[in-house]
Amino acid sequence: MTTTSGRKGRFPFRLGTTSYIVPADILPNVELLAPLVDDVELVLFESEEQSNLPDPGTIGRLAALGRERGLSYTLHLPLDARLGDADEAVRRRSVAKCLAVIARLRPLAPLASAVHLDWDGRGGLPADPDGWRARLSRSVGELVAAGVRPRDLCVENLGFPFDSVEPVVLEHDLAVCMDVGHLLLMGLSPEEFLDRHLERCRIVHLHGVVDGRDHRGLAGLEPGMLARMVERLSGRGAADRIVSLEVFSRADLDESLAIMEGLAQWAG
């Protein structure tokens, strides 16, 4: 199936997708996506064992593609960053890792960064939630003190209740990244989440759920709910919002772009 173009600039928000649509490095993916979407979510990892951070030459090419094709970037900060870890050395390394990624990608002028405020990477909650939140708050404060703008840091809902981290969001006036699939897998309503968080919602990870698995094409969402969400996301604050089709295959992207094209009327 061949992805069709023509969706760029069709919505009041910036419509994007991930940097892993075809099995290749970041640059070939961005070259493929530049004519198709407004934004590319750079999914990054950085550890002692492996890293996919682009080198300066690649960053220069990505920046040029952005200028030439009207393409913006958002970051997904490393998934293994443990900003609330009880081990102070791990917590500090996690802050440093996030800051290093942000500094490396600064030439791309990313619009925002999605961040996980989880505990163990498996969706659980710690035995000492108050201490965990205090450590998260300390880490976020260090990121902000280092120059990260609070509303550029978008806290993603994960596999536990978002109100567990909402105090940190409010304390530091952070933004929110709504992941639709995560909500659905928990049996929660994305529309109710928007009722509470729309004003802070700068990034949306939009994808379907099929046979209990998320990050699938938008055919895996109830059409009426999807249309209502697109309409609401197109309202107040839309110019500062990125809706990222968080899928990881060409087929799911093709399906999702076609469905989004049919929803352009709801964008107003």
Query: Which tens digits make up the pLDDT trace of 136-158?
Result: 999 999 999 999 999 999 999 99
Contacts of residue 67, defined as CB under 8 A and 6 or more positions apart, other chains included, come to none
Tell how strand 39-43 and strand 72-76 pair up: parallel
CATH number 3.20.20.150 given to 14-267: yes
* Average pLDDT taken over every residue of the chain: 93
- Find, among 199, 203, 88, 65, the residue nearest to 139 by Cα: 88
3-state SS assignment for residue 22: coil
* Residue labelled with tokens 């892993």: 20
What per-residue confidence (pLDDT) applies to 125? 76
Tell how strand 208-210 and strand 213-216 pair up: antiparallel
CB-based burial label for 126 (10 Å; 0-12, 13-18, 19+)? middle
What per-residue confidence (pLDDT) applies to 4? 42
Beta-bridge mates of residue 153: 113
What per-residue confidence (pLDDT) applies to 1? 35
What per-residue confidence (pLDDT) applies to 126? 81
Query: Which tens digits make up the pLDDT trace of 193-225?
Result: 999 999 999 999 999 999 999 999 999 999 999
Dist CA 54 CA 15 (whole Å): 23
What per-residue confidence (pLDDT) applies to 167? 97
Instruction: Record the pTM.
Output: 0.94
Contacts of residue 118, defined as CB under 8 A and 6 or more positions apart, other chains included, come to 82, 84, 158, 160
- Find, among 215, 219, 222, the residue nearest to 181 by Cα: 215
- Find, among 192, 140, 185, the residue nearest to 160 by Cα: 185
Cβ(206)–Cβ(179) under 8 Å? no
Give domain limits for the chain: 14-267
What phi, psi does 163 have (nearest 5°)? Answer: -65, -10
Residue 81 in tokens = 């960053």
- Find, among 130, 213, 140, the residue nearest to 164 by Cα: 130
pLDDT mean for each 10 residues of the chain (268 residues): 58 97 96 97 78 92 97 94 94 95 96 89 76 97 98 96 96 98 97 97 98 97 97 95 98 97 76
Residue 17 in tokens = 């997708």
Relative orientation angle of helices 129-145 and 88-104, to the nearest 10 degrees: 40
* Residue labelled with tokens 């900060």: 77
Cβ(193)–Cβ(162) under 8 Å? yes
What per-residue confidence (pLDDT) applies to 3? 41
What per-residue confidence (pLDDT) applies to 9? 87
